[in-house]
Amino acid sequence: MPAYVVFTREETLDQAELDTYSANVGPTLEGHEVTPRVAYGEFEVLEGPDIEGAVILEFPDMQAARTWYFSPAYQDVVQHRFKGARYRGFIVQGR
């Protein structure tokens, strides 16, 4: 079953760090079977606190999503996202 990595940006802290993250995250996806489904398009919050944007990445299964997220390449780059903003991130299995 497909799995989706979902990130919601809750608050920007340092735009320069986010710019560094954005400039370097693409290559971490190389070699992984991933389909970007959403990347900061128009949105409407229906419940809960407001967000600044969202990203959804589709992977073939939960293990493939974990393999990318915990890869050394992504873990090096994600430090910039952690410094740049507060996010909520999770993996959810689809159908």
Looking at residue 21, its pLDDT comes to 98
Query: What is the third-level CATH fold of 3-93?
Result: Alpha-Beta Plaits (3.30.70)
The token pair that represents 50 in the structure block: 């407001």
Looking at residue 50, its pLDDT comes to 97
Residues 6+ apart with CB under 8 A from 29: 57, 68
pLDDT digits (tens, 9 = 90+) for 33-72: 999 999 999 999 999 999 999 999 999 999 999 999 999 9
Looking at residue 89, its pLDDT comes to 98
Looking at residue 93, its pLDDT comes to 98
The domain limits of the chain are 3-93
This prediction's pTM: 0.94
What mean pLDDT is reported for the chain?
Answer: 98
